[in-house]
Structure formats: structure tokens, C-alpha cells
């Protein structure tokens, strides 16, 4: 039986993450809490808007209403990486070799490990950011498509067009596909090799959470009464294929998803605070948490896939241990 260790905090949890094996919870008020032999916390921002763990899993990069981009380590130390005075830093992404991307208004920035910063202005707001899994390449989600930049070189950006407002963005782990979440309850994807479009529609709500399964065979998403899991193992991705619906419930919506790091299992968080684990192969489900005060906003597995940290809208966070 999985056991739940609750961790009650006050406020909206923007991100749950494991840093060096320690569960961390970044709250909208700017505090980053952690469970490391007791509850500890550090105030990182006056208003925290976005967060992403570094690729080595040893630190959390956050952006705030205070215009700061900060790095928090599991020992509670913090460092301001960059500042955009009087502006909100609305998205952050982490990349290879300690690179960090962040966005404010219509500008995307890339900060290299040595502190050098490159900026990219866009005609419209930068809504989302992602680093490619290989090479120094970032993708920007924007109105009417996505733009790829190559910060290590002085080359021209590459534009991928699709009408509508694109909010979130992610590369498939093999780097072959780029997928955006849209304002109108849909995903859009591009096969990067030939620019082929992939339309993934039919969601009753906006997709706000997504997660790739190990090796990128599946993309699990929120935005429906079930986790919608798209197959990406074929060379053309999910084109012409139906998604798997995992953990279907009649009366509530999936608000967060997190794929297990080893097995093809998805942790599915719902608007009522319930968390299920669903196996893609046979659709079997296990309850990890019966419910809570509020919607699940973020979940993360530890590297071994034994513990799942979860955060919620009203701060009833915690850690599920599935080893017991």
C-alpha cells in the first residue's frame, strides 16, 4: 500500500520537485519549502511564478513577480541569476551545461553558466520556453507558432507557424518533436525533421500539465477527465492514432500528470486532490491519495521512482511512498 506523508503549507504550490533526493515545494508567495529531516524553507521571491529543476537535479530555477531569476539548492542556499527590473519573469527553463532560459514580456533570455546573457526580442509575448534535449537550442511558444533559437551560434532563428496562441512548449526526449499547449484546449506538434503538423484536440479544458514517459514513447497530458496519453513511438508521432485515456473519472478533471522515470506508469492528479497511478499497457489503476482540499498543481517522482512529491492549489502538499 502506498503511504502518504502530508505536508501542509499555506498557498498555491507552483512546483513540486526532488533536488538531490529532497522533496521541494515552490509556493506562489515566493517561499521554497523542503522536507529534509523536518520542514525547512527559504524565501526566494516576492511572488514566485514559475520553476524548473536543473538537469542534474541539484537545484531549482525560479522566476518571480520581483523580476528575479533565482537558483535554490537543497541546502537552502539561493543565488540570484538575473534580474529584469519591475517586470514579471513569467517562464523559466533549464538546459545543458548549466544554461537557463527565462522570459519577461516579449523577450526571451538565455543565461550561460559563465553568467553571459543573450536576449531575443519577439514581436509578441514569449509564453513558454524549452531547451532541446541535445545541443544548445531553445524553443519559444508564442502567438501563431513557435520560434527556435540557437544561442551558441549566431544563426537565424527558425519559425514554426500555426495559427493561435501557444502557451506551453516541450521537446520530445529524442528531440524529434516539438509540442505546444494552446489557449484553445488543444496541443499542437511539429515533427522537426520535416515540419509536419500534428493536431491533438478534443480536450474539454486547457492543457496545463504534461509529462514524457521514459524514452519519450508517450506524452501524458492534463485537461480532460482522464490523463490523455499520446503515442510518440512511431516515426510520425501520434498522427492518425488515438490517445490512451488513463484514470478516467466522471466527475472531475485531471489537473497534473507525471510519468514514472522507469516504468510506463503515469501519476495522475485531479481537481479534487485525488492522485492515481495508471499503467499505460493495461490501464490498471492504483489510488495513491484519496483526495484533498484542492486541485493538484504539480507532481514529481524521485530518480528511483519510489517517492512522488505533489503540490496543490491551496497548499495541501505531501509525498507518496509506493515502496511500502
Partner 1 sequence: MADTQTNAGNGTQIPVTVLTGYLGAGKTTLLNRILSENHGKRYAVIVNEFGEIGIDNDLIVESDEEIYEMNNGCICCTVRGDLIRTVEGLMRRPGRFDAILVETTGLADPVPVAQTFFMDDDVRAKTRLDAVVALVDAKHLPLRLKDSREAEDQIAFADVIVLNKTDLVTPEELSKVEGLIRAINPTARIHKTSRSAVDLSAVLDRGAFDLKRALETDPHFLDADDDHDHDHGHDHHHHHASDIHDVTVNSISLRAGEMDPKKFFPWIEKITQAEGPNILRLKGIIALKGDDERYVVQGVHMIIEGDHQRPWKDGEKRESRLVFIGRNLDAERLKRTFEACQA
Binding site for partner 1 (CB under 8 A): 11-12, 14, 28-29, 46-47, 49, 65-66, 86-88, 90, 105-106, 124-125, 127, 143, 163-165, 182-184, 186, 205-206
The residue among 46 and 75 lying less far from partner 1, judged by its C-beta, is: 46
Which residues is 279 bridged to in the sheet? 265
Q: How far is the CB of 52 from partner 1 (least distance, A)?
A: 16
The residue among 49 and 258 lying less far from partner 1, judged by its C-beta, is: 49
Rounded Cα distance, 13 and 48, in Å: 10
Distant-in-sequence, close-in-space partners of 63: CB < 8 Å, separation ≥ 6: 45, 48, 49, 50, 51, 69, 70, 88, 89, 90, 91, 92, 102, 103
The residue among 57 and 105 lying less far from partner 1, judged by its C-beta, is: 105
The residue among 224 and 265 lying less far from partner 1, judged by its C-beta, is: 224
- Are 153 and 137 within 8 A, CB to CB? no
Rounded Cα distance, 227 and 220, in Å: 6
The residue among 40 and 206 lying less far from partner 1, judged by its C-beta, is: 206
Dihedral of alpha carbons 156, 157, 162, 164, sign = negative
The residue among 86 and 156 lying less far from partner 1, judged by its C-beta, is: 86
Which residues is 15 bridged to in the sheet? 26
* Per-residue H/E/C for 302-318: CCCCCEEEEEECCCEEE
Q: How far is the CB of 12 from partner 1 (least distance, A)?
A: 4
Q: How far is the CB of 275 from partner 1 (least distance, A)?
A: 21
Rounded Cα distance, 149 and 43, in Å: 33
Which residues is 40 bridged to in the sheet? 34
The residue among 2 and 105 lying less far from partner 1, judged by its C-beta, is: 105
Q: What is the DSSP string of 95-128?
A: -GGG-EEEEETTEEEEE-TTS-EEEEE-SS---E
Q: How far is the CB of 143 from partner 1 (least distance, A)?
A: 6
Q: How far is the CB of 164 from partner 1 (least distance, A)?
A: 3
Q: How far is the CB of 285 from partner 1 (least distance, A)?
A: 26
The residue among 170 and 297 lying less far from partner 1, judged by its C-beta, is: 297
Residue 273 Rama label (left phi>0; alpha psi -120 to 50; beta)? left
Q: How far is the CB of 316 from partner 1 (least distance, A)?
A: 15
Distant-in-sequence, close-in-space partners of 233: CB < 8 Å, separation ≥ 6: 217, 218
Report the first-to-last Cα separation within the chain, whole angstroms.
6
Q: How far is the CB of 169 from partner 1 (least distance, A)?
A: 14
Amino acid at each position: 500500500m502506498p503511504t502518504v506523508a502530508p505536508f501542509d503549507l499555506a498557498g498555491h504550490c507552483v512546483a513540486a520537485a526532488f533536488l538531490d533526493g529532497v522533496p521541494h515545494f515552490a509556493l506562489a508567495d515566493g517561499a521554497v519549502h523542503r522536507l529534509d529531516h523536518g520542514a525547512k524553507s527559504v524565501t526566494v521571491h516576492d511572488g514566485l511564478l514559475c520553476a524548473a529543476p536543473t538537469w542534474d537535479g541539484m537545484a531549482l530555477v525560479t522566476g518571480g513577480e520581483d523580476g528575479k531569476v533565482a537558483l535554490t539548492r537543497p541546502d537552502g542556499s539561493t543565488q540570484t541569476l538575473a534580474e529584469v527590473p519591475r517586470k514579471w519573469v513569467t517562464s523559466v527553463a533549464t538546459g545543458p551545461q548549466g544554461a537557463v532560459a527565462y522570459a519577461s514580456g516579449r523577450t526571451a533570455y538565455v543565461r550561460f553558466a559563465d553568467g553571459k546573457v543573450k536576449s531575443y526580442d519577439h514581436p509578441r509575448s514569449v509564453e513558454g520556453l524549452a531547451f532541446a534535449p541535445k545541443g544548445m537550442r531553445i524553443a519559444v511558444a508564442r502567438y501563431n507558432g513557435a520560434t527556435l533559437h540557437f544561442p551558441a551560434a549566431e544563426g537565424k532563428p527558425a519559425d514554426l507557424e500555426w495559427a493561435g496562441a501557444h502557451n506551453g512548449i516541450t521537446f520530445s526526449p529524442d528531440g524529434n518533436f516539438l509540442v505546444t499547449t494552446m489557449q484553445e484546449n488543444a496541443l499542437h506538434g511539429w515533427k522537426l525533421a520535416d515540419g509536419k503538423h500534428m493536431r491533438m484536440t478534443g480536450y474539454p479544458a486547457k492543457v496545463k500539465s504534461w509529462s514524457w514517459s521514459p524514452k519519450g514513447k508517450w506524452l501524458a497530458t492534463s485537461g480532460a477527465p482522464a490523463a490523455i496519453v499520446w503515442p510518440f513511438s512511431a516515426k510520425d508521432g501520434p498522427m492518425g492514432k488515438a490517445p490512451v485515456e488513463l484514470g478516467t473519472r466522471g466527475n472531475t478533471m485531471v489537473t497534473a500528470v507525471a510519468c514514472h522515470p522507469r516504468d510506463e506508469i503515469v501519476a495522475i492528479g485531479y481537481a479534487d486532490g485525488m492522485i492515481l497511478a495508471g499503467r499505460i499497457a493495461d490501464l490498471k489503476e492504483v489510488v495513491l491519495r484519496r483526495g484533498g482540499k484542492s486541485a493538484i498543481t504539480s507532481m514529481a517522482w524521485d530518480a528511483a521512482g519510489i517517492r512522488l512529491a505533489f503540490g496543490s492549489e491551496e497548499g495541501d502538499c505531501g509525498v507518496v511512498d509506493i515502496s511500502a
